[in-house]
Amino acid sequence: MNRPEVAPGAHAVAVVNHDKLQPGQLVVSGEDGKQVLRVAIGGAEQLLVTTTQTYTFTCSVGGSQSTSTLVSKAR
């Protein structure tokens, strides 16, 4: 992620595949735990439309997983 906070609205999401031998995915979930977006690593850019809440990004590559959060709030 290139920033921890955004305004509500549409945001482009893509995941660069630095290791083309390792498949993986990025899953974005809202505060309710429901999945709002799934992006294949190295796949096409997708649009995440945020509302005022905190989103959890979980990236899985091979056997590794990392998680980060994104806060969407009015400025």
Residue 18 has a pLDDT of 67
Each residue's pLDDT tens digit, 12-63: 998 877 666 678 899 999 999 999 999 988 888 999 999 999 999 999 988 8
Residue 22 has a pLDDT of 74
Would you say the pTM of this structure is higher than 0.85? yes
DSSP state of 74: -
Token pair for 25: 């995915």
Residue 63 has a pLDDT of 86
Q: CA-based angle 8:52:5, to the nearest 5?
A: 65
Domains delineated in the chain: 5-72 (2.60.40)
DSSP 6-72: E-SEEEEE----SSTTS-EEEEEE-TTS-EEEEEETTS--EEEEE-SEEEEEEEEETTEEEEEEEEE
